[in-house]
Every structure is written in structure tokens, then in C-alpha cells.
Amino acid sequence: MNVAITGGGGFLGRRLAKALLADPAVSRITLVDASEVEAFSQDRRLEIRRADLRDAGAARSVADGADTLFHLAAVVSGQAEAEFDLGMAVNVDATRSLLEAARAGNRRPKFLFTSSLAVFGPPLPEVVTEETAVHPRSSYGAQKAMGELLVCEFNRRGFVDGRVLRLPTVCVRPGRPNAAASSFVSSIIREPLNGEPANCPVGKDLELWLTSPKAVVANLVHGARLPDDALGEGRIVNLPGITVTVGEMIDSLARVAGHGASERITFKSDETVKRIVASWPARFDVTRALGLGFTRDSGFVSLVEDYLATEGRRAP
């Protein structure tokens, strides 16, 4: 298995690379990012490369030889809303460049594209499925929806073996807040666990659709390993998640880390974040994903524990 991971410098990309390196069938991983990525493994199968996929030549050199591409590179939701043209260039044009590069070799490589619940928006049914129409209410969501259509069409034409996985909001992300509208979802857990203050820009009643990084990485690997005919003509899968309110998240935090932690959260409303995040669905029927063998977190506490374990810590 000769793997390329774009946006590989992000924390999901690095975790995915580590998971794949544990598989002896993986002969090579090219981890590509637009930014400099610090080496995180001495494994000689791993090559870290800096490249801007908007350049067709760079896209070709990434796709060249790879039989499995994980296309994670993206401009996140808050930034795509603030910088429309940059979002189009990266989320749409670079996706198309990489698909064209993958098509060029006539080898029909696996092309795994990470999409998002952000393709959905009101009016929403009670429960979202793969048969729900996309109504994106953010540039990020619209751009991901275009990427989905590109991957599905390149698959249908036989140019790639395309798979689209729609991710729930990932929580708890390590590190610092980012430009995603959903950044607070991790901050309100991570910062208090680290003894720092965090702001929650939405109300406690807001429902979210969440997944742990651990489940996402397992599901990305599973998504690439699934046989082509298991998916059939429906190349899009809504990945499993859990439905939790912001209030339930904070209660869980207090249970795991004490009220001292949850009291570090302030509630200053942010209308831009609210508008985007509240347009996302929080209830899905993931019968299809579970039937295909994708995994689901057991509950919100396990998301907190996954974070602590990754950081080499135990619940305080």
C-alpha cells in the first residue's frame, strides 16, 4: 500500500499516518502539507513533503505512485467564511487538481475524501441520512459539497475509486483553537482540562454531532480498506457520531475533572459562530455506516478520556 495523505500536518493526518505505519502492508506514506511539518516518526516508510496542491505539478507529484490517497487538506470553516476565494481555491480547486492527478495515471487509485456535516443546513429533517439534500449554510459546507460531487463523478467515470466520508465535529482536538467555527467545541473541554479559561459562544441547549479523533482515524483506515463493491454506487457515508448538548458536555467535564474545570468556561455569545454551527444537523441515522463496519464512540466521557490518554494523562 503506497499512501499519500494531504493536509497531513494536521493532527488527524499525523494520527492517521501513525496508525497506518503500524500496518506492515503499508510500504510508503507521503505526508503532504502546505505548511512545514515537524518530523514525528523515524519510520523510513514516511516521507514528509511541503507542497501546495493548487499547483497542478505538485498535485501530480503527490498522486504519482500512490494507490491510496487520503485527501484531508482543507481551509476550515471560519477561515473559508472570512476568505471566500482562498476557500474555493483550496477546498474546490485543489481537490479537483488532485483528482485530475489521480486520474492521469490510469490506475484508478483509492481516493478518500473527508467531507463534513457542514454540507447540511436548514430545513433539516428530524434525522439526517445519505438521502437528505445538502443545503450548505457556510462557504466551507458549499465547497465540501462541491468536492463530494467531484469525487463521486470521478468515481462514476472510473477515474478513481472514490469514497466520501462525512465527519461529525471532531472533539477533543489537541493543541490551540483554530479558525473553524466549531473550534470552541474542543476549547471548552481542552482549555479547562489544562487549567485555562475558555469561552462558549453558543447556548447550552445547542445539540452537536461529535466524534473522537480516535474513532475518526479508525474510520478513515476502515474507509480505505473497505472493498469497492461494499459501497456500490453510493460513495458517500455519514460517519457515526454521538448527539450531545453543550450543557451535557460541560456536565461530563465536571464529572471527569471536577467543577473547578467547568467553572473556567465563560459564555460570551458570538453570532457568526452561532449562525454557522446552529445550521448543522445533530441527529443522524447511521445505519448504513454501522452496517459497513464503521465504529462509533460509546459516549461523551470517552471523548474526554481519549484526549487525556493521547496527552499521556489520566483523569485528574
Known active-site residue 140: yes
How would you classify the pairing of strands 242-245 and 207-211?
A: antiparallel
Q: How far apart are the C-alpha atoms of 205 and 120, rounded to whole Å?
A: 20
Residue with cell 505539478: 57
Q: Which residues pair with 128 in a beta bridge?
A: 284
Asked if 165 is part of the footprint of its own copies (rule: CB under 8 A), the reply reads no
Q: How far apart are the C-alpha atoms of 75 and 88, rounded to whole Å?
A: 9
Q: How far is the CB of 149 from its own copies (least distance, A)?
A: 5
Asked if 274 is part of the footprint of its own copies (rule: CB under 8 A), the reply reads no
Q: How far apart are the C-alpha atoms of 118 and 42, rounded to whole Å?
A: 36
Asked if 123 is part of the footprint of its own copies (rule: CB under 8 A), the reply reads yes
Asked if 78 is part of the footprint of its own copies (rule: CB under 8 A), the reply reads no
Q: Which residue type does 226 have?
A: L
Q: How far is the CB of 245 from its own copies (least distance, A)?
A: 25
Q: Pick between residue 145 and residue 244 the one whose CB is nearest to its own copies.
A: 145
Asked if 150 is part of the footprint of its own copies (rule: CB under 8 A), the reply reads yes
Q: How far is the CB of 131 from its own copies (least distance, A)?
A: 5
- Helix 300-310 vs helix 246-257: angle between axes, to the nearest 10 degrees? 50
> How far is Cα of residue 316 from the mean position of the Cα atoms in its chain?
28
Of 76, 101, 146, 216, the one binding its own copies (CB under 8 A) is 146
Asked if 131 is part of the footprint of its own copies (rule: CB under 8 A), the reply reads yes
Q: Pick between residue 95 and residue 211 the one whose CB is nearest to its own copies.
A: 95
Q: How far apart are the C-alpha atoms of 244 and 255, rounded to whole Å?
A: 15
Q: How far is the CB of 147 from its own copies (least distance, A)?
A: 10
Residue with cell 465563560: 266
Asked if 58 is part of the footprint of its own copies (rule: CB under 8 A), the reply reads no
Asked if 139 is part of the footprint of its own copies (rule: CB under 8 A), the reply reads yes
Asked if 289 is part of the footprint of its own copies (rule: CB under 8 A), the reply reads no
Q: Which residue type does 213 have?
A: P
Q: How far apart are the C-alpha atoms of 30 and 48, rounded to whole Å?
A: 6
From 70, 140, 284, 300, the catalytic residue:
140
Asked if 234 is part of the footprint of its own copies (rule: CB under 8 A), the reply reads yes
Q: Which residue type does 93 have?
A: D
Asked if 65 is part of the footprint of its own copies (rule: CB under 8 A), the reply reads no
Phi, psi of 307 (to 5 degrees): -65, -50
Q: Pick between residue 152 and residue 224 the one whose CB is nearest to its own copies.
A: 152
Which pairs from 39-47 meet CB under 8 Å and 24+ separation?
40/14, 41/17, 45/21, 46/17, 46/21
Q: How far is the CB of 137 from its own copies (least distance, A)?
A: 7
Number of chain positions touching its own copies (CB under 8 A):
25
Active-site residues, by number, are 140
What residues line the site for its own copies (CB under 8 A)?
Answer: 84, 122-123, 125, 130-137, 139, 142-143, 145-146, 149-150, 152-153, 156-157, 233-234
